[in-house]
Amino acid sequence: MTTPCYAARYSLYRATAAGAYPSEVDVRNNLLPAGDPSGGASSTVTDLLRFAQARVQHKLLSPELTNTVITRKVPAPRPGLADDKYASGFADSKLNGVRIVGHNGGAPGVGAQLDIYPDLGYIVVILTNYDGALMPVHAKTHEILTR
């Protein structure tokens, strides 16, 4: 089965109830169901960019509610982002004094990152269809935009 407008997923891991283990499995035709508890959504770069723009322009929520949704709540430090907190579905981080609001996700063979740099006016959308491809690109965007 092939699905138009979907990139093929390539993974060296196979997910099982016990976790992921190395495999040579081709997961290209194994699309995740949309709307499961882990997200499971499918999107395009254009749609994620439009979503982020609508959020920044307060077309989805009022400025007050937008601020409530993205304001730091729970400490959630990650490597390289010691000043990191989680809000209502968004990480709210500072790197080199630059604020980054975003969310990511992934599964074997796919990865996604949406970062909004509110003080700089940038939005970064990264979608991958290969294991291990997301983090190096994400790190490079951080390096470029938070100098």
Q: Which of 14-18, 51-55, 76-80 has the lowest mean pLDDT?
A: 14-18
| pLDDT for 24 beyond 70 | no
At 14, list the tokens: 């196979």
37 has pLDDT over 70: no
User: Which residue has better confidence, 55 or 12?
Assistant: 55
- 114's enclosing H/E stretch is strand 110-117
Query: Rounded to an integer, what distance in angstroms lies between the CA atom of residue 145 and that of residue 100?
Result: 10
- Residue 20 near residue 108, CB atoms below 8 Å: yes
Identify the pLDDT of residue 82: 65
Cα–Cα distance list, 38 to 34, 35, 101, 117, 126 (Å): 9, 8, 19, 25, 18
Q: Percent of the chain having pLDDT more than 90?
A: 37
Residues 6+ apart with CB under 8 A from 113: 102, 103, 104, 124, 125, 126, 134, 138
Q: What is the pTM of this model?
A: 0.72
